[in-house]
Structure 1
Amino acid sequence: MSEIKVPAMGESITEGTVSRWLVKEGDAVNQGDVLLELETDKVNIEISAEESGVLEKILRQEGDTVEIGEAIGIIAVGAGAASAPASPAASDAAPEPKKQAPAPQAVAPAPTAPEVSEAGVKAASPAARKLARERGIELDQVQSKDPIGRVYQEDVKNHGSQTAAPAAQAPSKPSAPSAPAPSASTYAKPVERQRMTRRRATIAKRLVEAQQTAAMLTTFNEVDMTAIMDVRKRRKDKFKEKHDIGLGFMSFFTKAVVGALKKFPMINAEIDGEDIILKKYYDIGIAVSAKEGLVVPVVRDADRLSFAEIERSIADLASKARTNTLALSDLQGGTFTITNGGTFGSLLSTPILNTPQVGILGMHNIQLRPVAIDAERMENRPMMYIALSYDHRIIDGADAVRFLVTIKELLEDPESLLIEG
């Protein structure tokens, strides 16, 4: 027998969700065959068979949360595993009932044995045990939603919220079942209930955490895009011919951000307890909207890249994001983020920090608006609102405003980007 285990996927990833099984119980598999897809909060990965044989048992179903190192299936190694019932040997009779009766519980005894006490304490994941210790919760008091009784971090969180107000617990119990009740009994009109994907749930959690933990504030300005649009109009054909990539707006904004970060290094930092980590490199995250949710791949060492290299890097990362082929290394270690809501028509927004970063720049739609050139002249100019959300704990308002003004000045004088960026 060979267990199919969840592989290690990086220090920051401790669990994932079984997205879908590509094979069924009883299917023959060869070494290297893809067995299932696993969804994490950052990337999706494929898990392949380490040995050839027959998929004897699926231990974790689609939608189940699994942890690193956990067994999620069993492969009967070798071609003979599928033909055990036809074997004439008397010794084959004993293993057969094992496959039929105890097989569904094959995983439960192994991890739970060292954790079960005489009082019947349930098995628990490492994350659940840690959270329970921190909150002073006894694991045998926690109700598990897992079919085999294993306690997960979410179970401990739910238990903590239920016991936070013991006096109100008794009257609140009758109303608890009403939440997960079928939609027909809850809503007067037809609805569809969908479970959040792991990535969407993680995005939701982190955005809320960013607002709860950071002293977030947003400042705004607007940029006259006339000069950049003129450069692009004059240079785009030669640029495309020479570099085989289009000259977009993102390279200009990336260069402008790098130039401004050099002048205001605190915005290229992060908070670690009571320390400030000032980063001496410029890895710029570019927010990309993908089918599974927003991801922020990182353009490494943007200060050392040419316009063409930045455009090519962004195009490659965006393509990976949309085809779900981003690696963990593509997403880790950014120092500042740029998000462009203008591609969807957004005129103005307040972007939320991509923690632990302390600054994020929001780009918006370009609109032709009347602008006062001097006291007597008005002209229609292509204008864009830009927004900087920042962590007021370490960034003063004056520096945030000056940072955004610096970006505005650099963008309105594109030649300066060759020097400052």
Structure 2
Amino acid sequence: MAEVKVPELAESISEGTVAQWLKQPGDFVEKGDYIVELETDKVNVEIISDYTGTIKDLLAEEGDTVQVGQAIAVVEEGGSAGGQSQAPEAPKAEAQTEAPKAEQPKDTAPIQAATPVQQESSQRTIASPAARKLAREKGIDLNDVPVRDPLGRVRVQDVEAAGKAPVQSTPAVKPSPAAAPQAQADDRVEVIKMSRRRQTIAKRLVEVQQTAAMLTTFNEVDMTAIMELRNRRKDAFFKQNDVKLGFMSFFTKAVIGALKKYPLLNAEILGNEIIKKNYYDIGVAVSTDEGLVVPVVRDADRKGFADIERTIGDLAVKARNNKLALSDLQGGTFTITNGGTFGSLLSTPILNAPQVGILGMHKIQVRPVAIDNERMENRPMMYLALSYDHRIVDGKEAVGFLVTVKQLLEDPEQLLLEG
């Protein structure tokens, strides 16, 4: 027998949560096969088997927290894909229990103690171990549990939802009229356990609000020049670089130009010291089903528009497919977030600690703008928001930074010089 253990994940990560078992007891695995997906504070990591053989036992269930170095599965080395192990014998034993008791051999006595729920649950091979355990505890038949997973897999949440009515019911006592509304209200409430990543996001956001002197300043930018430039150059740009010319490359370049002018917004606080960074690793917030992540565009000041657009696109795809590596998320110096993709007109973004500045982009909306004392024109306008840590960034610097970003965006030719 060989144990599969949680490997070293990263310097700052010592534990993870079992998100999904990719193999079950009785499954044959080759060395290097993925057997389990762990959810860490930052990314999901798939763990491989270092052995070839049959999965004999799973030592942790989905939802369990496991430490680096902890054994999480047992592999019986050797065997073949069609081989039998102790774990796969369970279905045969269950089949025997369906016969009359008088016809069962003595060696099946331990199986006779199994409840019908246990027998039916083990036959449902697409149920997770945690779901099977919870079903046994609640006395629920997994075959009757409504499944929300598109692949038909019964998850813990499905069993919990199915078990609410039996757990809350009290058939021996006739409910009073006053208790009836409460029961009805409970039936409309769904309790969902926060994922490890969501817990980490919540914890860090609260910590930022409690430890940083965070303020937000606002401005607006006329997007006319950038939109006209994009319309003129987008076809040639795509033909030459095989990537679309979006807005993010303009904003990234404008931010870099402003950071060079106001370097304290590219710094961080470490104790009683200010760490000024003379490099520009720009984080770009990406929304995923599991929560917001901020992959980093490395050395963005050394990249051209095409390289920035390509890098951001690649990181966004990796984020939505849960394929980001820890190195993709670490070490950013400043962050850009774009609430405008969801229709936000104005917001106050929260700092991405330990950074001291974050720029919020918003929806482009055509509004009447005064050109001079005599003329009004409809222009595509965007509100910008800069949240900053007032402990090291004063209002004068924050406002100057945002004005610089505005000026560079409204005259994008400057980005070739300033950015």
Please name the residue that 1:375 is paired with. Answer: 373
Paired residues, number:
328
**Runs of at least 4 residues off by over 3 Å:** 80-85, 181-189
Q: How far apart in 2 are the matches of 1:210 and 1:82?
A: 54
Secondary structure (helix, strand or coil) at the match of 1:195 reads coil
Secondary structure (helix, strand or coil) at the match of 2:193 reads coil
Q: Is 2:7 the partner of 1:11? A: no
Q: 2:302 aligns with which of 301, 304, 315?
A: 304
Q: Is 2:223 the partner of 1:225? A: yes
Q: CA deviation at 1:185?
A: 5.4
Please name the residue that 1:361 is paired with. Answer: 359
CA contact (8 A) 1:76 1:82 kept: no
Residues 84, 411 of structure 1: alpha-carbon distance in 2 compared, 3 angstrom cutoff: closer
Q: Quote the sequence identity (%).
A: 68
Q: Which amino acid aligns with 1:42?
A: K
Please name the residue that 2:65 is paired with. Answer: 65
Q: How far apart in 2 are the matches of 1:244 and 1:69?
A: 44
Q: CA deviation at 1:25?
A: 1.6
Q: Which amino acid aligns with 1:191?
A: V
CA contact (8 A) 2:25 2:55 kept: yes
Secondary structure (helix, strand or coil) at the match of 1:79 reads coil
Secondary structure (helix, strand or coil) at the match of 2:45 reads strand
Q: CA deviation at 1:190?
A: 1.5
Matches within 5 A, 1:285-296: 285-296=283-294
Please name the residue that 2:76 is paired with. Answer: 76
Q: Is 2:257 the partner of 1:271? A: no
Secondary structure (helix, strand or coil) at the match of 1:202 reads helix
Deviations 1:264-312 (A, max 9, x none): 0000000000010000100000000112111100001111110111111
Q: CA RMSD in A?
A: 2.0
Matches within 5 A, 1:165-244: 187-244=185-242
Q: How far apart in 2 are the matches of 1:301 and 1:384?
A: 27
Of 32-41 and 342-351, deviating more is 32-41
Q: Which amino acid aligns with 1:207?
A: L
Please name the residue that 1:37 is paired with. Answer: 37
Of 361-370 and 64-73, deviating more is 64-73
Secondary structure (helix, strand or coil) at the match of 1:400 reads helix
Q: How far apart in 2 are the matches of 1:357 and 1:230?
A: 33
Q: How far apart in 2 are the matches of 1:223 and 1:84?
A: 68
Q: How far apart in 1 are the matches of 2:338 and 2:85?
A: 58
Matches within 5 A, 1:271-420: 271-420=269-418
Deviations 1:143-178 (A, max 9, x none): xxxx9xxxxxxxxxxxxxxxxxxxxxxxxxxxxxxx
Please name the residue that 1:141 is paired with. Answer: none
Gaps of at least 5 residues in structure 1 are 86-99, 101-146, 148-180
Q: Which amino acid aligns with 1:39?
A: E
Task: Tell me the TM-score normalized by structure 1.
Answer: 0.75
Task: Tell me the TM-score normalized by structure 2.
Answer: 0.75
